[in-house]
Structure formats: C-alpha cells, structure tokens
Structure 1
Amino acid sequence: MEGKIERENRERRWQHDREKTMATNREREAEQDLDIRKKQIRDREIMARKLAEWDDDIEADRSQKEYYITKT
C-alpha cells in the first residue's frame, strides 16, 4: 500500500515538473515569436523610410550602389 502511494506521489511530482517545463517552453517560444514580429515590423518601417526617401537621380549620381555603377 505504501509503495503504491509513494509511486503515485512520484508520478504526480514528475507530471507537475513536466507540465511546468512545458509551460516554460511555451512562454519562451511566445516571447521569441513576439521578438521576431517586432523585428519584422521594425525592418518594414526602416525599409519604408528608405524607399520614401529614395531618389534614383541622386543614387545614380553617387554611383555607390552596385545597380548604379556603370560597367565598361
């Protein structure tokens, strides 16, 4: 009888630890997903700003970007 109770207690503790670990993993994944979404939004904003300020004529005069460098 005591062996059965002890085994059930061990099993309960193991289950509790397992659930706690799974919850921690879910929280970490949710935070990582949020960080990824924030980075994507930030990257989109940066690109939108660059494109809004982009001027082909100025870039062609500078010839700094590979696209605008004349190859002879």
Structure 2
Amino acid sequence: MTEPTWWPEVLAGARRRRMVTAMLLDHAVPLLNGDQLRLAFERSDIAAAWAESDAQAALEDALKHAGHNLTVTAA
C-alpha cells in the first residue's frame, strides 16, 4: 500500500483545526450547567472568531471522544 498523495494536506488541516481550537479556548471561561457547556468569551473579536471557525465541532468531537456528551454554546 502507498500513502495517498492528498494525505499531507489533510494532516495539515487537522493540525490547524486543533491549534485554532486551542488558541480560541485559551480565551474562554467554561461554565457547566448539567449537560450544557457554555463558553464565555470576554472579547467580541474572539467570540466572532469562534463562531466563524470550525472550532466548536473540533471541541465537540474531543468531548465525545473523552466520553462527555455535552451541548456546547458560546457567547
């Protein structure tokens, strides 16, 4: 078997998604209420970047992988 030619691009995209998610989460205050995780962002530009990115999906995937079935909201 050979490595697909497109693999480096997919790998780079996955790394960027993880790094962006982590950078944005550094600015969040996580608040847990039952099965709902609310991310509070003090800066509106960070909240906007969160909303425009794919970071929430990455966080939800990581939470599910860790066994946490939470609904994530951000403000």
- The two structures have a TM-score, normalised by structure 1, of 0.38
Q: Which has the higher contact order (CA 8 A, sep 6+)?
A: 2
| Larger radius of gyration between Structure 1 and Structure 2 | 1
Give the number of the structure whose residues are more often strand, by fraction.
2
